[in-house]
């Protein structure tokens, strides 16, 4: 029997509304420099539920216009981890490939040039229907502004409640942050498949949920008030004039120039309805597999005997945010039909403590 929202909140416990941040106003300013060191801050008092700081950290967003970068947009179940490459940091993105019958995930990519307005967008690549991508590469031969992966995280946050910027990368649900396991977790092979190493760019939250969430262990001994969570993350790759980002899909190369956009979506599908996104019930308190696909994250790492955290809806709110995208903007129009996607987010999970990236998969 499906319970109503009021009864759900009574059972789950009261949770305060997690205030959003100021949005894009003041996001970038004329003299901003993403490579300028962040202000020195006093350390958080241990033990604290602090979100992990992803290094290298960026506290200022550059004012460069859209015509100077290619934007990567990530949606769906995936993992994000840093990889140390000499004195540079790269960012590994892994697309979750291990379902739990009847649930599975399907990776789809769409790439566009001329991302000025939706009438001008020129399709460069679109994953054919029912095609399973086996290998992904991304190359940037002439980067500018930043020549490695950096993560936008302005201001100190000793808890998720202290995050103040809408675009802060730390809105991602991070299993290695202190509010969860607080250590570098061993990642399992062949769960994130394919994986892609992004060599450079500024990573940030493109949109966070309007609804708020909590995670708690099965026995209820530990509870974390997550508040809002990132359901779309993005990376701006700044490139020199007449240069391009090279996307290689199963050995075939595609060139995306600025202003360009590349969408990566890894949505949940039901075997019985392969053309429809999974329909979860966020008010189901007893069955985690019917509440969301969050539980599938646990296939990707070894928690070394520690308790599993389950995701619960705390408070439901209508999503009114249009993400800053061009070519597929209509797909993100807030609507009642998409309300349960905000209440049961299918989104990226982070691993912010380690710097070994995601593991190589078996052939």
pLDDT of residue 28: 67
Q: What is the mean pLDDT of residues 72-101?
A: 94
pLDDT of residue 22: 36
pLDDT of residue 359: 95
Mean pLDDT estimate for the chain: 88
pLDDT of residue 18: 30
User: Which of the 8 DSSP states describes residue 312?
Assistant: E
Q: Is 12's pLDDT higher than 50?
A: no
Q: Is 90's pLDDT higher than 90?
A: yes
- Kindly report whether the global pTM for this prediction surpasses the value 0.95: no
Q: Is 338's pLDDT higher than 50?
A: yes
pLDDT of residue 81: 98
Q: What is the mean pLDDT of residues 179-208?
A: 97
Break the chain into its structural domains and give their ranges. Answer: 5-351
Where is 111: in which H helix or E strand? strand 103-113
Instruction: Determine which of 28-42, 187-201, 341-355 has the lowest per-residue pLDDT on average.
Output: 28-42
- As a whole number of angstroms, the distance between CA 282 and CA 284 comes to 6
Radius of gyration of the chain (CA): 19
Instruction: Check if the beta carbon of residue 257 is closer than 8 Å to that of residue 241.
Output: no
325's CB contacts (< 8 A; 6+ apart) are 71, 73, 206, 261, 263, 332
- pLDDT (tens digit, 9 = 90+) per residue, 277-329? 788 889 998 999 999 999 999 999 999 999 999 999 999 998 888 899 999 99
- As a whole number of angstroms, the distance between CA 281 and CA 291 comes to 5
pLDDT of residue 132: 93
- What is the full DSSP assignment across 118-155? TTT-EEEEEPPTT-----EEEEESSB-S-SSEEEE--S
pLDDT of residue 219: 87
Q: Quickly state the pLDDT bin for 345 (edges 50, 70, 90).
A: confident
pLDDT of residue 32: 81
- What is the full DSSP assignment across 5-46? HHHHHHHH----------TTTTSB-TT--TTSPPPP-PPPPS
pLDDT of residue 48: 86
**Token pair for 22:** 């100021």
């Amino acid at each position: 029997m499906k319970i109503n929202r009021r009864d759900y909140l009574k059972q789950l416990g009261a949770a305060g509304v997690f205030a959003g941040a100021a949005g894009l106003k003041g996001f970038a300013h004329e003299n901003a420099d993403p490579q300028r060191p962040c202000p020195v801050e006093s350390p958080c008092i241990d033990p604290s539920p602090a979100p992990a700081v992803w290094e290298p950290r960026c506290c200022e967003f550059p004012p460069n216009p859209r015509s100077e970068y290619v934007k990567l947009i990530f949606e769906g179940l995936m993992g994000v981890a840093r990889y140390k490459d000499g004195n540079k940091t790269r960012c590994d993105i892994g697309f979750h490939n291990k379902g739990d019958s009847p649930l599975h995930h399907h990776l789809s990519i769409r790439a566009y040039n001329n991302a000025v307005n939706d009438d001008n967008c020129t399709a460069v690549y679109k994953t054919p229907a029912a095609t399973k991508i086996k290998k992904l590469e991304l190359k940037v031969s002439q980067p500018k502004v930043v020549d490695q992966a950096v993560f936008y995280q302005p201001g100190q946050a000793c808890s998720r409640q202290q995050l103040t910027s809408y675009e802060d990368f730390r809105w991602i649900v991070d299993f290695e942050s202190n509010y969860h396991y607080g250590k570098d977790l061993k990642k399992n092979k062949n769960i994130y498949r394919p994986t892609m190493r992004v060599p450079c760019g500024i990573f940030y939250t493109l949109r966070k949920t309007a609804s708020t969430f909590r995670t708690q262990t099965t026995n209820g001994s530990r509870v974390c008030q997550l508040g809002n969570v990132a359901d779309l993350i993005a990376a701006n790759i700044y490139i020199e004039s007449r240069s391009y980002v090279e996307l290689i899909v199963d050995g075939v190369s595609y060139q995306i120039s600025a202003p360009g956009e590349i969408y990566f979506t890894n949505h949940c599908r039901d075997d019985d309805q392969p053309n429809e996104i999974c329909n979860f019930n966020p008010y189901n308190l007893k069955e985690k597999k019917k509440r969301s696909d969050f539980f599938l994250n646990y296939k990707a790492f070894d928690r070394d005997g520690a308790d599993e955290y389950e995701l619960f809806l705390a408070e439901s709110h209508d999503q009114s945010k249009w993400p800053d995208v061009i070519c597929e903007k209509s797909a993100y129009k807030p609507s009642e039909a998409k309300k349960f996607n905000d209440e049961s987010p299918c989104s990226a999970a982070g691993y912010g403590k380690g710097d070994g990236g995601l593991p190589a998969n078996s052939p």
